[in-house]
Structure 1
Amino acid sequence: MKAPIIVPADILAARVQQKLTEAGADAASSAHTVRALMHASLHGVDSHGVRLVGYYYGPLRSGEINGRPQIKIRKTAAATAMLDGDNGLGHHTSYEAMKLAVDLARDSGIGAVGATGSSHFGAAGAYALAAAEAGMIGLATTNAESLVTLFGGRDAFHGTNPLAVAAPVPDEKPWLMDMATSSIPFNRVLLYRSLGHPLPEAIAVDGDGNPVRDPAEATTLMPMGGADYGFKGAALAGLATLLSAVLTGATLDHDLASLGASTPAKPANLGHFFIAIDPARFAGVTEMALGMRRYLDALRASPQRDGAPPAMAPGDREWQVVEQRLRDGVPVDPDTAQVLGF
């Protein structure tokens, strides 16, 4: 088992910025990507944090990902728009798309933006959080290359297709839910390989569809819910595909080529979907704040069975991790440490 190294957050962010710039990303693309990757690493989502720098570096250098995109916006109605990311880094595309959704919501109460011409965007929660920080409820989702079987399936069909929602909370950090619709993200399998950790049960299968715990043998993930209830995860993955790819005209999961493949045929044209909702246009900002306060106070006071940890709302654990990692430093796995030159 290999131990990660611990790096202060500011030093880590600067090294990530340097590596992305070296690979050819312009100032806006690299700034948005650093913001998203550090969000994930600080929140304990290490599979989607700074370890992805190595994943993006080669495609940026080769031009498979456009490091200097010209983003195009097409407003389609009062509350809707489409954004073309010009085959740039998905983080840049996504922050711009959520900003547009928030602007639309300020005018219309709700804003929905579909993004195409994009690439892998990291942790979906980063973009939902951007809406919550603007005082709105945010939703972010994406489709992705096929890495997940259907319920009872053998071969990959859906991507890991995350769903993320965030909401503002008075006098504390936002409520934040961010989850893959697969058992775990495939980047966590790669992280387990780097660290030498075995996988939990009912997470992944080998090339013959047999469940495995050795991350080196894992080729495909199982949907969330595993062997008994994976139909739920598969259905939610389909929802992400419907919103991100079918609705927007982006490439479907099973037609996406792997990033960095030896012979990439054409830009990925990955799709994302973002919604921002302005509480002022519904019950009102004050009423929502009171409701969130009552809801969270009751949730955290709810009795737990003997031996169980205290009840927590989505984001509670992650915000504790942020505080700890800002104070003590961020763990970086050995493979990523080598890529970043630590």
Structure 2
Amino acid sequence: MLEKAIEKLRKEMDQEKDNAYTQVVGGYLIKFLNKNQGAAERFLAEDKTIAKSLETMKNEASKKKKNNFAMFTLEEGLGQLNIDGKDKIQVAIERLKMFEPPAGYYLAFSGGKDSECIKELAIMAGVKFDAHYNHTTVDPPELVYHIRNNHKDVAIHYPEKSMWKLIEEKLMPPNRSARYCCDVLKEGGGEGRFVVTGVRWAESARRKNTRNVVEFDKYGSQSRKAKQQREIFLMSDNDEKRKMIENCQVKGKHILNPIVDWTEDDVWKFIKLRNIDYCELYDEGFKRLGCIGCPLAGKRNMEKDFERWPIYYTNYIKAFERMLEERDHRGLKTDNWKTGEDVMKWFMNC
């Protein structure tokens, strides 16, 4: 009976090969059957299908929602906290186990507190993975030393062009609306792989609205092309749009965010529980460890960065001056930018 129930599910999955939702839910139901063989008879019922399961999940979400929001269990929502008494650590480990690919995960490692957590969780889960760190050329030196000294198994990738060269070539400083530095220096790697990241909803309002437990995405979850081609499946129509699964309808880079629902307190409790070494900059009062002088961090944090690492302030000025020379060479207007210092004033307030 078990074999017939699984055969039925596989047949529906074969008929819906291009439907990522059917594949994920079907795979989960097969795992469920293997652990709960007594349920096989129920799955053989004519009205028991993967499509019906998806519809039931949506209906149940609407019943559970409060203030137009519903949080599902792992079994009900494929990745959310469950009602079986499992804590967030157990849930994150199950997420990693559930989607483990044959080739293993590509673990995107930044050296920050969230990356420390996902790497430790991957080890605890016993899943196969290889960790990668993209050196941006504007990372805090202490962070780079921490990775080299404490994570010798992490592959460090150096970019073909530094931040300073990119500024000169792009003819403008990076800013909130032109984040070319992120595309070139931070978000590369993992093409064709299942990527694990430490993205968390608590980090920003934007991530609450755009990032999910699982993302099936060829172009990068926030790229324009991805947004044009992405089909969204909502477990509930909540205002914060906390989506469970995304499908770009194409094969490519997939993303798993196992601690997406963790708070900062959850992160630090886990780090202390597991006695994980972390970068010393956190003890100096730094809340997040990103690129030095990142405009997304805001003026106050930029000033703090440049006070801590003045050589990077100088390097930005020099890069801005070369940028102005290139703009002048191409006959482009520079408006109020006459010197590298002028550009820096704009950069700090953009």
> Normalization by structure 2: what TM-score?
0.23
> Normalization by structure 1: what TM-score?
0.23
Select the structure that is richer in strand.
1
Select the structure that is richer in helix.
2
Larger Cα-atom Rg: 2
Q: Quick one: higher RCO (CA 8 Å, sep 6+), 1 or 2?
A: 1
